[in-house]
Structures are given as structure tokens and as C-alpha cells.
Amino acid sequence: MEYHVRGHTELPHYDESEPWVAERPPSLWENSVSGLMLGIVPYPDDTSPAVLTWRALRRIGRLCDLSWIDRRDACDSLKQRLDDAARSLARGQDNAARRQLGAFLDELGGQRGNRVNESAYWLLRTNVEYVVSLIPQS
């Protein structure tokens, strides 16, 4: 969700000797700080491992846009690992998906503090560990 926080605006000087005409105050866009908030959103109706993996894949794109993952090659590699796992889950290849998600977690941990900041690390780690917990053991 995008937001803007309005900063302090000085009141115009009032001179009683002249008719007072208020100038147009600065707009929110001229006198604000913008930001982006990532928050908790409801789970989709379908909480299958495949759907949740696709959801995590979309989230990585946003984290890269925010520079929480600060190199394009790290983003692309992590995205590819999740994409491979999502495709394996869609084909019913649970063991392959479990291995691929494990490789994702290993790479994510290796990039932690280097290319992946703490916020991105924990957001992705907890989501992917939850997905792994949903995959049936064979």
C-alpha cells in the first residue's frame, strides 16, 4: 500500500493593511514524504503449497523493487528457485518441490546480510518454511 505523510506547512503571513487573499497551500504531493508499506494480507481461499509458492514468487519481485534484495542477479536466482518449486508442485512432484524450496532457503540464508536485508530474509523465510510444512511427506 502506498502512502504519503504530509509535512509541516508554514501559515501564510497576514498583513492587516491589505485585503487578505489566501494562496493555494502546497499540495500533498509537493509537501510530503512517500513510502510503501508491506503488511499482512488475508490468505487466498486456495492455500495449497503451489498457490502459496506463486504468491511468494510475486512478493520477491516487490522486494527487489524496494531494494530489500539489492542485486538483480540475486533477485533472478531466488525467483527462479521459487518458480521451479511452484512448477514442480503444480505437476504433483512434491519431493522435487521440497528439495527446490530447501535450495531456495539455503540460498536465501547465504545472501542474508549481503544481498538480502533482514526484513526480506524473515518475510521470505517464514513464508517458504510454512509452504514446506504443507507439502505432504512421501
List pLDDT tens digits, range 18-68: 666 656 655 655 666 666 666 666 667 777 888 888 888 888 888 888 888
Q: How far is CA 126 from the centre of its chain?
A: 13
Average pLDDT over residues 95-109: 95
| pLDDT bucket at 84, cuts 50 / 70 / 90 | very high
> What is residue 79's predicted lDDT score, i.e. its pLDDT?
93
Domain boundaries of the chain, sorted by first residue: 49-134
Nearest residue to 107 (alpha-carbon basis) of 75, 64, 137, 61: 75
Mean pLDDT of the chain: 81
- The three-point CA angle 73-75-79 to 5° equals 120
Given a cut of 70, is residue 104 above it in pLDDT? Answer: yes
